[in-house]
Amino acid sequence: MNDTFSARGSILIAGVTTIDGSTADIAIDETGTIVAIGDDARGAIDADIIIDGSERLAIPGLVNTHTHAAMSLLRGYADDMLLQDWLSQKIWPLEAHLSGDDVYAGTRLACLEMIRSGTVAFNDMYFFMDRAAAAVDEMGLKATLAYGFIDLGMEDKRETEIRATEALVRRIASLNNPRIRAAVGPHSVYTVSLAGLSWCAGFAKEQNIGIHVHLSETGKEVTDCLAQYGKRPAHLLDDCGCLTTRTVAAHCCWLDESECRLLGQRGVHASHNPASNMKLAVNRAMPCHWLKQYGAGLTLGTDGCSSNNNLDLFEEMKFAALLQKFAWNSPTLLPAGEVFTMATAGGARALGTGPGTLAVGAPADIALLDTRAVCNTPLFHADSNIVYACNGGAVRTVLCQGRILMHEREVPGEEEIIREAAAAAHALVERAGDEG
Ligand SMILES: C[C@H]1O[C@@H](n2cnc3c(O)ncnc32)[C@H](O)[C@@H]1O
Ligand SMILES: [Zn+2]
């Protein structure tokens, strides 16, 4: 088994079921690229490792386009609250006591949870992101990491945030790990000044990197933005240059139709986070139908573990499909195939990790599901089972760029990761005093 995880050779997944119901071999070369799919694929390589694909369904690895990975340490710390109260009374006071070691432990726990539920890539915004990068480097996933830029309109704080953002970008460049990218992370229009937003846009353009921002999560955000600036949040972000093809905008719940058109025109990727939105009762669902109509990218995210409270994108796919139907009053909205595309190709396009499909030339970012699991029985339409019946527990094996991260539900080092994260979480809450 240890050989399976450490080996860097070519891999053949033999006789696996694909999403269209056919059976195929998938050949992966030493660089982690899919080089052949089909009946004749086994001839394409001299495989170092053969994975038995019988009783397995191969899907592209899932992509989580909005999370705060290290918030896994805050799972269950503060539930059942309004967003503003939750942030200002519970989360931000606790985060004031965070250390780099906490972020390392929490990000490792998050990576473990994502691997165990079939996620291969994620878009993260948090603090001490050099330590998040170290965790991702070890765990083997792909990630785009942004420092959460919050200046609260204060010039001296803005300077601090600028320096922290620049330092992270330098640090990630120095890692020289193609799986890990940097982005700029202006938190939102209610926590970042216009000068801060404009700096973020300019720096992201100069560095040719992504922008990761919360957008129109609550009605209050829109009302306050209109009162302060005389325009809605998406238009304000656009004035500052933050809406680009490299931008992932999380939540987007309260966008009106003109803002959806604007996101489409700018080629922005919207990240739908239905579990967090329902839990925090933001009271409106992202208008996927308008965003689709105007050509914006549609993707899926979990948000952090404190508002979800897990990182299972299978659950998120189901929530998305159900919430869209319920909120916009139509059972035909967001069918299974579309929400599956959001969680795979849509996310991969947003983060630039590949096509997010199983195709020759694509990176071998693959999850193998158990076709004999209860949730896959019967298996008439794979996308229906994936979205409506399964959760991440159906995932047996995960590959990222051809490296095996989990095999038959074993992830190396799992017990130590859990033990250290639990200790870090308890110590953090203790340090913070009685806020827990
Ligand atoms: C990076 C900062 O963002 C905070 N955060 C986590 N979840 C949300 C959310 O749903 N809306 C706004 N801000 C959020 C996180 O605690 C960090 O402080
Ligand atoms: Zn968030």
Instruction: Classify residue 128: in a domain, yes or no.
Output: yes
- What 3-state class would DSSP assign to 206? helix
ipTM for this model = 0.99
Beta bridge mates, 58? 368
Encode pLDDT of 312-361 as tens digits: 999 999 999 999 999 999 999 999 999 999 999 999 999 999 999 999 99
Instruction: Classify residue 417: in a domain, yes or no.
Output: no
Instruction: Classify residue 424: in a domain, yes or no.
Output: no
Beta bridge mates, 180? 143
Burial of 172 from C-beta contacts in 10 A (0-12 / 13-18 / 19+): buried
Tell me if 90 CB under 6 Å of ligand 1. no
Instruction: Classify residue 356: in a domain, yes or no.
Output: no
pTM: 0.98
In angstroms, rounded to a whole number, what is the distance separating the alpha carbons of residues 291 and 260?
A: 5
Can you tell me which residue has the tokens 């973020």?
A: 200
Compute the distance from residue 261 Cα to the ligand 1 centre, in Å.
26
Say if CB 169 and CB 207 are below 8 A apart. Answer: yes
Pocket test for ligand 1, best of 84, 86, 91 (most atoms within 8 A of CB): 91
HEC readout, 70-129: HHHHHCCCCCCCCHHHHHHHHHHHHHCCCCHHHHHHHHHHHHHHHHHCCEEEEEEEECCH
Q: At residue 384, what are phi and psi to the nearest 5 degrees?
A: -65, -45
Q: At residue 38, what are phi and psi to the nearest 5 degrees?
A: 135, -170
Instruction: Classify residue 342: in a domain, yes or no.
Output: yes
C-alpha distances in Å from residue 408, one per residue of 1, 45, 51, 141, 278: 10, 23, 10, 18, 33
235 assigned to a ligand binding site: no
Does residue 305 sit in the same domain as residue 378? no
Instruction: Classify residue 147: in a domain, yes or no.
Output: yes
Domains in the chain: how many in total? 2
Does residue 153 sit in the same domain as residue 19? no
Contact residues for 332 (Cβ-Cβ < 8 A; gap 6+): 325
Say if CB 33 and CB 364 are below 8 A apart. Answer: yes
* 377-400 as b/e: b if 16+ CB within 10 A: eebeebbbbbbbbbbbbbbbbbbb
Half-sphere exposure for 302 (CA within 13 Å, toward CB): 31
Q: Which atom of ligand 1 is nearest to the CA of 276?
A: 10
Does residue 220 sit in the same domain as residue 262? yes
Q: What's the CATH code of the domain at 398?
A: 2.30.40.10
Q: Which residues of the chain have pLDDT under 70?
A: 1-3, 6-7, 434-436
pLDDT at res. 1: 43
Does residue 231 sit in the same domain as residue 124? yes
Does residue 72 sit in the same domain as residue 54? no
At 390, the amino acid letter reads C
Instruction: Classify residue 428: in a domain, yes or no.
Output: no
Identify the helix (H) or strand (E) that includes residue 384: helix 382-384
Does residue 197 sit in the same domain as residue 258? yes
Pocket test for ligand 1, best of 68, 90, 152, 168 (most atoms within 8 A of CB): 68
In angstroms, rounded to a whole number, what is the distance separating the alpha carbons of residues 360 and 432?
A: 51
Does residue 115 sit in the same domain as residue 44? no
Tell me if 185 CB under 6 Å of ligand 1. no
At 379, the amino acid letter reads L
Tell me if 125 CB under 6 Å of ligand 1. yes
Instruction: Classify residue 146: in a domain, yes or no.
Output: yes
Does residue 240 sit in the same domain as residue 371? no
Does residue 56 sit in the same domain as residue 69? no
Does residue 97 sit in the same domain as residue 155? yes
DSSP 8-state assignment for residue 268: P
Q: What's the CATH code of the domain at 251?
A: 3.20.20.140
Q: How many CB atoms lie within 10 A of CB 239?
A: 15
C-alpha distances in Å from residue 320, one per residue of 330, 354, 399: 13, 23, 25
DSSP 8-state assignment for residue 257: H
97 assigned to a ligand binding site: no
pLDDT at res. 435: 45
Q: Which domain holds residue 140?
A: 62-351
Half-sphere exposure for 385 (CA within 13 Å, toward CB): 22
pLDDT at res. 65: 99
Report the DSSP pairing between strands 119-126 and 210-215.
Answer: unpaired
Does residue 188 sit in the same domain as residue 40? no
Compute the distance from residue 301 Cα to the ligand 1 centre, in Å.
13
Q: Which atom of ligand 1 is nearest to the CA of 125?
A: 1
Helices within 21-68 (DSSP H only): none
Going by C-alpha positions, the residue among 276, 268, 271, 308 that lies closest to residue 288 is 271
Beta bridge mates, 37? 26
DSSP one-letter string for 281-319: T-SS---HHHHHHTT-EEEE----TTSSS---HHHHHHH
- What 3-state class would DSSP assign to 46? coil
Does residue 46 sit in the same domain as residue 111? no
